Amino acid sequence: MAIVQISRITQRKGLSENLPQLAGAEFGWVIDQRRLFIGNGTIQEGAPAIGNTEILTQYSDIFAIAGAYTYKGEAGGYTVQTGPTPGDPIERTLQSKLDDMASIKDFGATGDGDSDDTDAINRALFQMFCREQNPQVRRSIFFPAGVYRVTSTIKIPPFCKLYGEGARSSVIFLDTTGDSTLTATYVAQTADSLQQVYPNIGNNNATAPTNIEIYDMGFQSAETLNIVSIQEATNVLFQDVAFIGPLVQAELDTDVDDISGATFGSTTTYPTENISFTACEFSGLTYGLSSDAAISGITVTDSKFNTLYQGVLLTGTGAGTAGYIGPQGFRITQNLFDAIYAEGIEIDGAQNNMSGFNMFLDVATKFRGGAYPAADNFNVILIDTDNNVSFGDMFERDSSADELKARINIDNKKVFAMEAGERYRFGTLVQEAGVLVDKTVGSGTLLTLPAALGSAFEVRYNFKDLVTTQVRYGTLVIVSEDIDDSSTFPVSFTDDYTENGPVGLTLSVSQVGSDIEVSYTITANGRFRYAVSTLG
């Protein structure tokens, strides 16, 4: 375009409230806001509108200037209709669009593993979930990959939702190394809407912890303390979350450190219930999970328990009475337990809990390998209280050492336990899986019963003569005195049977060392099917 006139540049300055209509090409500097404007000029000069146009500087609000945002969705090959008609789209400011999500770095956290991010994280939790009760201000907080070092406990309020980029990628790491004045009880704990923690939850009309969700993150500590405390909370979900302590195998031959991945607290006013752990990891701790509190409806599924003294410890008092205090409705299903010094699961005084379809590898073997049948091993699952269930759990350790330490010990309680593929237990009754075996003419041992397993057995059997095809079926009841294995003990038995013809079979029972042996003599090749029940 041709230059028709060169005019002297004019300028004004003043406060924003005094900004006048500027002449065409005249500058106006707003002192109090550090903003710069230029006059549009007149319509007659060709300006599309009379007014002032802001010139961008480092102090400009670029999001306000950017104006409206409308969702397009062009990846589908068309523009999405966002409004009631194609010509009336829904418009939002760019600022409101970006405010749909919040990053913890928006509040000053660095995630560099060195800076102290405690205040930034607790500030974000307060501003997003505690400052106002209006649900519109709540936003999920994103933790980009990094190690967020904290030096005191993080307070997780109601309606909080946190998510990261992986259990080992976005990690809140408690580390007070080098400063003895810094103390913490947990890496994180539940808090109410005023960020008050136990025992002050609910004071001043605050909302107790509820509807909390945490995804794809890790909580780790360099200190010997519990990782997360869930106090007086309801409806809490941890998914793909790691709970990592500082302990290594050499420190896990004892429970002296007494630290857990998650602990629980509950009161009559604010009971803790409906807590879920899905695809989580518990490692470097005395216990993966432990509780003696009156909590209910805790679900642990598809998770991994590794490098621990014990996997899960549940204790209670007054089981079976109106005054019972302890966990119930604890469901531990479809998890992997590995590298655990003592029991994978211990339920001691707690009631109405279950274990099901878990896999136990190197568990209850003092870190000596999953198949090691040592006399001083632990039970893999120990349940010493009525009204609990173990169903379909699977074990790397075989049953050869069960007379020393049974994989599942229900301690003469009213408990149903089924070991996948081998047996079920109900109180003192143990029902083994059925066995099929072919024997040739002559004599031999049909089965061996370790005396340590009990003093009364029932063997249900049938025998088919493979020459004549005649069949005997019967029940062999064996009773012995329950004395120590080094002594001689009398054994008696009865064989109650029915057969459709002579099968040439004789059964006998005797003591051999510390075992009871069932022997046979047959006059023709035959096939046995039998199942053993331990009666007591």
DSSP string, 1-14: ----------EEEE
| Residue 252 forms part of a structural domain | no
Residues 472 and 423 in one domain: no
Residues 397 and 294 in one domain: yes
Residues 114 and 90 in one domain: no
Q: Which amino acid is at 225?
A: L
| Residue 257 forms part of a structural domain | no
Identify each DSSP E strand in 56-200 by its residue range: 68-69, 92-93, 102-103, 141-142, 146-150, 154-156, 161-163, 170-174, 188-190
Q: Is the Cα torsion angle 399, 401, 407, 409 positive or negative in sign?
A: positive
| Residue 412 forms part of a structural domain | yes
Residues 81 and 34 in one domain: no
Domain limits for position 81: 69-98
* Best CA proximity match to 534, nearest among 444, 422, 380, 378: 422
> Is the per-residue pLDDT at 498 higher than 50?
yes
> Is the per-residue pLDDT at 399 higher than 90?
no
Q: Exposure pattern of 508-533 as b/e (b: 16+ CB <10 Å)? A: ebeeeeebbbbebebebebebebebb
Q: How confident is the model at residue 483 (pLDDT cuts 50, 70, 90)?
A: very low
Q: How confident is the model at residue 215 (pLDDT cuts 50, 70, 90)?
A: very high
Residues 25 and 44 in one domain: yes
> Is the per-residue pLDDT at 84 higher than 90?
no
Residues 292 and 399 in one domain: yes
> Is the per-residue pLDDT at 355 higher than 90?
yes
Residues 44 and 140 in one domain: no
Residues 232 and 183 in one domain: yes
Mean pLDDT calculated for residue range 171-189: 85
Cα 83–Cα 88–Cα 94 angle in degrees, nearest 5: 75
Mean pLDDT calculated for residue range 439-464: 86
DSSP assignment letter at 501? S
Q: How confident is the model at residue 192 (pLDDT cuts 50, 70, 90)?
A: very high
Residues 285 and 416 in one domain: yes
| Residue 420 forms part of a structural domain | yes
Q: Which amino acid is at 216?
A: D
* Best CA proximity match to 223, nearest among 152, 168, 273, 154: 152
- CATH number of 437's domain: 2.60.40.1680
H-type helices in 210-276, by residue range?
Answer: none
Percent of the chain with pLDDT over 70: 88
CA dist., res. 485 & res. 489, Å (int): 9
Instruction: State the pLDDT at residue 438.
Output: 92
Instruction: State the pLDDT at residue 4.
Output: 44
Instruction: State the pLDDT at residue 139.
Output: 86
Mean pLDDT calculated for residue range 380-389: 88
Give residue-wise pLDDT tens across range 363-377: 998 988 755 556 567
Q: Which amino acid is at 211?
A: N
Q: How confident is the model at residue 421 (pLDDT cuts 50, 70, 90)?
A: low
Instruction: State the pLDDT at residue 511.
Output: 84
Domain stops at, among 427, 459, 492: 427
CA dist., res. 147 & res. 28, Å (int): 47
Residues 118 and 149 in one domain: yes
Residues 278 and 293 in one domain: yes
Instruction: State the pLDDT at residue 83.
Output: 87
CA dist., res. 87 & res. 494, Å (int): 93
Domain stops at, among 400, 427, 454: 427
Residues 167 and 227 in one domain: yes
Give residue-wise pLDDT tens across range 293-324: 999 999 999 999 999 999 999 999 988 788 88
In terms of pLDDT, which residue wins out, 296 or 62? 296
> Is the per-residue pLDDT at 284 higher than 50?
yes
| Residue 259 forms part of a structural domain | no
Beta carbons of 154 and 129 less than 8 angstroms apart: no
Instruction: State the pLDDT at residue 391.
Output: 84
| Residue 322 forms part of a structural domain | yes
- CATH number of 178's domain: 2.160.20.10
Mean pLDDT calculated for residue range 495-509: 92
| Residue 251 forms part of a structural domain | no
In terms of pLDDT, which residue wins out, 3 or 386? 386
Q: How confident is the model at residue 415 (pLDDT cuts 50, 70, 90)?
A: low
> Is the per-residue pLDDT at 1 higher than 50?
no
What's the domain count of the chain? 5
> Is the per-residue pLDDT at 5 higher than 60?
no
Question: Coil, helix or strand for 513?
Answer: coil
> Is the per-residue pLDDT at 88 higher than 90?
no
| Residue 261 forms part of a structural domain | no
Q: How confident is the model at residue 67 (pLDDT cuts 50, 70, 90)?
A: low
In terms of pLDDT, which residue wins out, 484 or 148? 148
For the chain, give the mean pLDDT: 87
Mean pLDDT calculated for residue range 13-25: 87
CA dist., res. 203 & res. 504, Å (int): 82
> Is the per-residue pLDDT at 78 higher than 70?
yes
Domain stops at, among 384, 405, 427: 427
| Pairing outcome for strands 526-534 and 456-465 | antiparallel
Residue 74: what are its φ and ψ, rounded to 5°? -75, -10
CA dist., res. 253 & res. 358, Å (int): 23
